[in-house]
């Protein structure tokens, strides 16, 4: 990765001033990686990125995003004379082979330098930097990861960090039912009482309810198809015949509730079915359960906590009749 000190040499460092015209939610070049290294004595400032792709590829990507051409140092100095001497000084200090391009993304009034987005390359890497404000909601994950890596968490970060700690990756050997790849453990109940899924003494395969969270909300059809194939012959599809974008349900029903009439306003009845078994259900739905990353709000000019985002929830549950749990029929 290009170190932040090298970027300082290359990039002239004109501040990206907060301004109504300043573009936010600038996308990250697809092949770029976040740099979380901070040199000793250097302030941890978000966020630098670099890639091994050539400068031309990165510049072309941002020319499409900004719908304008990139300027080299000479063209930028000609357009903004107040910056000319600073740009010439930058060029004289740049090591051989280093290249520089800039995009004007915000005008700050007559006589003031514009807000610019800079891309530079050298030593086989191409780098650029974005502020919290420029990352916006779409890139808030990178700012969060940077603060996490550099130990600069704020109060708004702690809610996300706590959620991540409490929702570990689901391992197939933990469960007696198929686990969709990439699932996180949502919640676990034993006889109706919620337990800590991170507790090493908890055995998720022996519980009355398990939910798995899948963060890729576009994968609903894939998730439904996965369980339809894996549980064929064990659970019956009772939801839509084709995977729905809203819900998908499978079940193995052993017990049935038979109403015997009510008395004094209370329904009376009894369960009929094979003794010693339980009713097992699989539901796949959406729910707003995942906290989004804190982001810099341009209007409030401060970082604010995120809201909650949708995830796919895969729920295995049983009706508590004999204390057994989510084990599938053999």
| Four-residue CA torsion sign, 53, 56, 59, 63 | negative
Contact 318, 279 (CB under 8 A): yes
**Nearest 5°: CA angle at 53, between 16 and 143?**
40
Give the start-to-end residue ranges of the domains of the chain.
4-152, 160-318
Q: Across residues 230-242, what is the average pLDDT? A: 83
What are the pLDDT digits (tens) for 301-327?
Answer: 888 898 999 999 999 887 644 444 444
Q: CA distances (Å), 154 to each of 72, 103, 205, 238, 295, in order?
A: 37, 31, 37, 46, 11
- The confidence band for 208, taking pLDDT boundaries of 50, 70 and 90, is confident
Helix, strand, or coil (residue 46):
coil
The string of DSSP letters for 232-248 reads TTTSEE-S-SS--SSEE
Alpha carbon 300 to its chain's center: 23
Of the two residues 299 and 234, the one the predictor is more confident about is 234
Mean pLDDT of 209-231: 93
pLDDT in tens, 65-83: 999 999 999 999 888 888 8
């Amino acid at each position: 990765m290009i170190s932040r000190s090298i970027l300082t040499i290359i990039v002239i460092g004109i501040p990206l001033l907060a301004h109504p015209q300043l573009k936010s939610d600038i996308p990250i070049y697809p092949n770029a990686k976040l740099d979380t290294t901070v040199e000793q004595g250097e302030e941890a400032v978000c966020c630098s990125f670099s890639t091994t792709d050539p400068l031309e590829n990165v510049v072309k990507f941002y020319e499409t995003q900004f719908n304008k051409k990139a300027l080299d140092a000479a063209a930028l100095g000609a357009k903004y004379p107040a910056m000319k001497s600073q740009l010439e000084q930058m060029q004289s200090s740049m090591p051989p082979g280093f290249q520089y391009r800039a995009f004007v993304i915000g005008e700050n009034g007559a006589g003031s330098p514009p807000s610019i987005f800079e891309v530079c390359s050298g030593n086989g890497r191409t780098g650029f930097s974005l502020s919290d404000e420029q990352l916006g909601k779409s890139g808030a994950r990178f700012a969060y990861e940077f603060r996490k890596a550099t130990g600069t968490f704020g109060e708004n970060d702690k809610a996300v960090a706590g959620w991540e700690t409490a929702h570990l990756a689901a391992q197939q050997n933990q469960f007696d039912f198929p686990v969709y790849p990439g699932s996180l453990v949502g919640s676990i109940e034993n006889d109706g009482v919620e337990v800590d899924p991170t507790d090493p003494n908890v055995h998720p395969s022996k519980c009355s309810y398990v939910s798995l969270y899948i963060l890729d909300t576009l994968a609903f059809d894939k998730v439904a198809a996965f369980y339809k194939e894996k549980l064929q012959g064990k659970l019956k599809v009772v939801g839509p015949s084709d995977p729905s974008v809203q819900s998908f349900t499978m079940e193995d029903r052993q017990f049935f509730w038979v109403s015997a009439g009510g008395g004094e306003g209370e329904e009376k009845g009894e369960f009929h079915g094979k003794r010693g078994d339980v009713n097992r259900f699989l539901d796949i739905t959406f729910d707003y359960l995942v906290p989004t990353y804190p982001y810099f709000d341009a209007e409030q000019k401060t970082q604010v906590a995120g809201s909650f985002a949708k995830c796919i929830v895969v729920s295995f549950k049983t009706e508590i009749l004999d204390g057994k749990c989510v084990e599938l029929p053999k």
